Amino acid sequence: MTFDLRQLRAFLAVVDKGSLGRAAPSVFLTQSALSRVISDMEARAGHRLFERHSKGMVLTSAGEAILPHVRLLLFELEQAMDSLDAVRGLRRGVVRVGAVATITRTILNTALAALTETAPGLRVELLEAPEDQLTAALVGREIDVMIGAEIPAHPDILALAECRFDDMFSVFCSANHPLAKQEVVTLDEMLRERWVMPERGASPRILFERALRNAGRTPPIIAVETRSLCAMLALVVESRLLGWLPRPVLARTEAAGSIRLIESEALTLRRQFFVYRRSKGILPAAAQQLVDLLPLRPGLSAEPEPAL
């Protein structure tokens, strides 16, 4: 059983769009031509891959079984084509990197600035998100390199190196908040206030609640939940809400005098950062160029032989 590149793209287009009509324009085929491509795939596979319904198409169990393999095959084929294009000088590659906010505001900016100077033909696609979203994006092949704090062991992810950089999460409040006028603020006083935080299950929220458990406290009232750093900062500046974010993210707002950091031993959390890639496949040359420009501590792990 063999499928060509056109068939792989057609299959994924129907999966992602949910119908032949919606998928056909994305693969530059007519609806009837796309239907013939899918029928030919099914004949080669010896199984029906889709159930046809009046409102669209849904994968059969056979289609579900091959879906992850089709995504992997298409990704690897497109990487191979990109590499050949680079050799022919048609393009210089794409760097697809994801990082947490602290990193995008510090060491990644420096590395990307150097990269765009030394390799102006490269195109950068940058995703800023918490670790849980970055992990999903890395496994889902939306990015090739991830930079974030330590994550739980994952069979599909390899830690390449540790960054020569760390930061701290800190509590902060508006400069006009009553607590901002106190020289010493106790943990219990902070926990009586209302807070703005990421939603439950997000990596920073998990760390926050773990720190409170370690201190023998229960979480405070979370008045607002959002993943937007800008929203968190604006809400704290304009209200009595407390927040908890990495200090590099807070630096400019603190320097402007709009917020005050509140010292708390229990809620001051130092983080280390690591560079991750998928454990299978080849790291694109463009992504390796970026990794080489990052400040890294040597000796985390040896690079394994690529597994295809």
CB atoms under 10 Å from CB of 11, counted, come to 27
- Of residues 205, 214, 271, the one with CA closest to residue 232: 205
Model pLDDT, residue 300? 61
End-to-end CA distance of the chain: 19
Q: E strands, the chain, where?
A: 50-53, 56-59, 94-99, 123-128, 145-149, 157-174, 194-197, 221-225, 243-246, 259-262, 269-278, 296-297
Residues of the chain with CATH 3.40.190.10: 94-164+271-297
Residue type, position 144, single letter? D
- DSSP assignment, residue 139? H
Instruction: Give yes or no for residue 308 having a pLDDT over 90.
Output: no
Helices then strands, each counted (H, E), the chain:
12, 12
Question: d(Cα 233, Cα 197) in Å, to the nearest integer?
Answer: 11
CATH of the domain spanning 94-164+271-297, picked from 1.10.20.60, 3.50.50.60, 3.40.190.10, 3.30.365.10: 3.40.190.10
Report the CATH number of the 5-73 domain: 1.10.10.10
pLDDT > 90 in the chain, percent = 56
- DSSP assignment, residue 295? -
For residues 299 and 247, which has the higher predicted lDDT (pLDDT)?
A: 247
Model pLDDT, residue 292? 94
Q: Does domain 166-269 have CATH number 3.40.50.300?
A: no
Question: d(Cα 67, Cα 158) in Å, to the nearest integer?
Answer: 23
Compute the average pLDDT of residues 29-46.
90
Choose from 16-20, 148-152, 213-217 the range with maximum mean pLDDT: 213-217
pTM: 0.64
Instruction: Give yes or no for residue 294 having a pLDDT over 90.
Output: yes
